[in-house]
Amino acid sequence: EVQLVESGGGLVQAGGSLRLSCAASGFTFDDYTIGWFRQAPGKEREGVSCISSSDSSTYYADSVKGRFTISSDNAKNTVYLQMNSLKPEDTAVYYCAADIDYSGAYDRSEYEYDYWGQGTQVTVSS
């Protein structure tokens, strides 16, 4: 059974940092795409970043480019999202998602992912 478990969310002041973790299990961690999405109250879910296992390529939404960094630790089956210079508009529930059939980092739709974590709340105060 594929499972994704996010952690690392919390409350932080504007300008601060958080590191989210997505611990994956139930699939071979060598051919996948892991993505991070977020959903703020009253808004649609939006893609934030993703990483491809085949070549470690990454994608970032324009809204987070230069502030967020995605990385993976295959030994720990974990993908991280380092979030720096956080802004109040980054406040949302953050979800990680996995596509275990295709490895490729680009502006992927949420419908391209088969498995989702339960989400972790990130709140940035002004």
How far is C-alpha 29 from the chain's CA centre? Answer: 16
Q: What distances in angstroms separate CA 89 from CA 37, 63, 64, one per listed residue?
A: 14, 10, 11
Structure tokens at 68: 């967020």
Query: How confident is the model at residue 27, as a pLDDT?
Result: 86
Q: Environment class of residue 119 by beta-carbon count within 10 Å: exposed (0-12), middle (13-18) or buried (19+)?
A: middle
Q: Which amino acid is at 104?
A: G
- Segment 34-62 shows an average pLDDT of 95
What tens digit of pLDDT does each residue of 86-123 get?
999 999 999 999 999 888 899 999 999 999 999 999 99
Q: What is the pLDDT of residue 123?
A: 98
pLDDT band at 36 (very low <50, low <70, confident <90, very high): very high
Tell me what percent of the residues of the chain surpass a pLDDT of 90. Answer: 87
